[in-house]
Chains A and B, each alone.
Chain A
Amino acid sequence: QSVLTQPPSVSAAPGQKVTISCSGSSSNLGNNYVSWYQQVPGSAPKLLIYDNDQRPSGIPDRFSGSKSGTSATLGITGLRTGDEGDYFCGTWDSGLSVGVFGGGTKLTVL
């Protein structure tokens, strides 16, 4: 059971938009920044979004992030087959003094 809650899977057609939610509590998302990661099979996780809504250099603006209270959302527009993979939200839990991740969401581009 993960501390952060994500839907197990989402799917959409190429070119469409999808959102992935991440829900937590006051000790984690409520008081700390959220980050998002993409992991495709056989590869290391890659940082997509940090500080709730910031994109690292090289990440296209098709990827966006937002946070409100104890919930966060990752948005992906203009879906491509290459976007398929697992997506994870992460943050720090100040009450537990541990890093925490969501259970992951598998994105399928139909």
Chain B
Amino acid sequence: QVQLVESGGGVVQPGRSLRLSCEASGFTISSYTIHWVRRAPGKGLEWVALISFDGSIKYYADSVRGRFTISRDNSKNTLYLQMTSLRAEDTAVHYCARGTTSGAYDYWGRGTLVTVSS
């Protein structure tokens, strides 16, 4: 069955970096756009970034553009989110989600918690 498993979260000081991973199974990621979406404590869902099936197209939310980089390794069926210059407002559970051709997110991982605190 389709599964997405995030890892790499933790507690980090403001200004530091962290790399999240999203390992997929049950399907081949090379055929799909993959998204990162997060939810901060007490807040709603926030779309973070997407990467197209072949990595040629990447889009970012204004809140992370220039600080976060999305990438993929199709040979490992794995996605990444490199997060730099982290801020307190980046504290959230970060999810990877598989995208459909019409813009929905049909499968989600369980998420990994990133806490930015001194």
Contacts and interface: CB of A to CB of B under 8 A. Distances in A.
Given A98-B59, A99-B37, A45 B108 contact: yes
B46 interface: yes
A37 B97 CA distance: 12
Q: Name the residue in B102, B104, B110 with the highest tally of chain A Cβ atoms < 10 Å from its Cβ.
A: B104
B110 A100 contact: no
Interface residues of B, number: 25
A92 B103 CA distance: 6
A103 B39 CA distance: 11
Contact of A103 (B37, B44, B95, B107): B44
B interface: dominant SS: strand
B45 A90 contact: yes
Contact of B103 (A33, A46, A104): A33
A101 B43 CA distance: 12
A98 B61 contact: yes
Contacts of A91: 103
A35 B44 contact: no
Interface of A: 2, 32-33, 35, 37, 39, 43-47, 50-51, 56, 86, 88, 90-92, 97-104
Q: 3 tightest CB-CB pairs across the interface, nearest first? A: A99-B47, A35-B104, A50-B104
